[in-house]
Amino acid sequence: MADVESLLTALRSGDRAALGQAITLAESSREADAAEARSLIEQCLLVAGEGLRIGITGIPGVGKSTLIDAYGLWLIAQGHRVAVLAIDPSSERSGGSILGDKTRMEQLAQHEQAFIRPSPTGGMLGGVARRTREAIVLCEAAGYDRILIETVGTGQNELEVDRMTDLNVLLLIAGAGDELQGIKRGIMESADVIAFTKCEGDARARADSARRDLRGAVQLLPSRPSGRRAEILLTSAISGEGIAELGALVETLHAGDRASGFQEEHRRSQSLQWLDSAIEQGLRESFQRDQGIAQAMPALREAVRAGTKSPFAAATELLALFRTGGAPRP
Ligand SMILES: Nc1nc2c(ncn2[C@@H]2O[C@H](COP(=O)(O)OP(=O)(O)O)[C@@H](O)[C@H]2O)c(=O)[nH]1
Ligand SMILES: [Mg+2]
């Protein structure tokens, strides 16, 4: 694994191309890459963990990328190095908005102290990329100490992102309608900070009243595992209002969670969730690679489609085939 060693050395020295390559390796679903990817991540885990992992969610168009551009620059001004993992569910189908995201993070994208990585979701349900945890670890090993994870909020995504971040920021547009923004309990419950975006000029008064309403609603939610409830801010990535306030609040919450021991405890339970999801992924991948399954699958799919076999019966048959490798039952 000489390649892994040199990739690791380059990555640790701050070589951005090497970090990009490392993430590509981690995201690879080729069996041939699996051992190298594992070895790389194992070694990076030894030096990772010092970063603050921040989830940024909200519906498409709410202003996540634009806010990250401004917030990222603020973080850099505080002496941090910033990695952005932008997880884009539309990118796979349409080749779509990744380009848009890059242009919306134009200033950050050009900055020496920033690394931006758009990742397709890889067809995962929920829309969180398959290897986001691994990518976080690689970014931290490369010396990035503030990791921003941009995901489209759908309700399901927040829960997934919550399993890999220390703090979550939910972005909302004041007055855009709760229904439209899919504001459901689950989404609000996973937020440590809620920021109304685009609050410059005339929009500010509307946002002020939306903030009052939301404060009431947040009081009715259960508190976060940290024992807090979401704080609500008004921001504008265009005018810059509220960006420093957001940055300072996140740092304060982070410092509190470290001092109280909550962050460590939280990360331990996230490790267990990582274990579970690594097992699930491993099983799914070896199932998909299994030759016997590949052979049996088309006929069974056809039978299910034609209604001659139930989905449940077909799944049972496939799983039995997978377990036994096709050997006759004892
Ligand atoms: N007026 C205003 N427009 C904004 C602001 N932030 C983002 N936008 C605009 O909102 C649109 C969507 O922004 P984008 O960052 O791509 O949203 P995302 O899909 O959540 O990443 C773009 O046209 C931005 O220019 C803001 O603070 N004020
Ligand atoms: Mg975006």
User: Ligand 1 atom 25: the closest Cα is on which residue?
Assistant: 66
Give the binding-site residues of ligand 1, using a 6 Å CB cut-off.
Answer: 58, 60-66, 100, 104, 197-198, 200, 236-238
For residue 178, name the pLDDT band (cuts at 50, 70, 90). low
The ligand minimizing its distance to the Cα of 174 is 1
pLDDT in tens, 31-62: 788 889 999 999 999 988 789 999 999 888 88
Residues 115 and 175: their CA atoms lie apart, in Å, by 33
Q: Give a yes or no: residue 109 inside a domain.
A: yes
Q: Give a yes or no: residue 284 inside a domain.
A: no
Into how many domains does the chain fold? 1
CA of 152 from ligand 2 middle (Å) equals: 8
Ligand 1 atom nearest the C-alpha of 60 is 19
Q: Give a yes or no: residue 126 inside a domain.
A: yes
Ligand 1 atom nearest the C-alpha of 239 is 27
What's the domain range around 132?
Answer: 49-259
Q: Give a yes or no: residue 173 inside a domain.
A: yes
Residues 214 and 315: their CA atoms lie apart, in Å, by 45
What distances in angstroms separate CA 87 from CA 118, 156, 190, 245, one per listed residue?
A: 6, 14, 18, 25
Residue 307 burial (10 A CB sphere; 0-12, 13-18, 19+): exposed
Flag whether pLDDT at 125 surpasses 50. no
Q: Give a yes or no: residue 268 inside a domain.
A: no
Please tell me the total number of residues recorded for the chain in this structure: 330
The C-alpha angle 52, 53, 59, rounded to 5 degrees, equals 140
The residue ranking higher by pLDDT, 87 or 266, is 266
The residue ranking higher by pLDDT, 100 or 289, is 289
The ligand minimizing its distance to the Cα of 241 is 1
Q: Give a yes or no: residue 293 inside a domain.
A: no
Q: Give a yes or no: residue 295 inside a domain.
A: no
What are the φ/ψ torsions at residue 233 (nearest 5 degrees)?
-125, 160
CB 207 within 8 A of CB 197: no
What are the φ/ψ torsions at residue 125 (nearest 5 degrees)?
-60, 140
Residue of 66, 181, 235 best suited for mutating to test ligand 1, as the one with most atoms within 8 Å of CB: 66
Supply the CATH number for residue 191's domain.
3.40.50.300
The residue ranking higher by pLDDT, 248 or 203, is 248
Flag whether pLDDT at 309 surpasses 90. yes
CA of 104 from ligand 2 middle (Å) equals: 8
Q: Give a yes or no: residue 21 inside a domain.
A: no
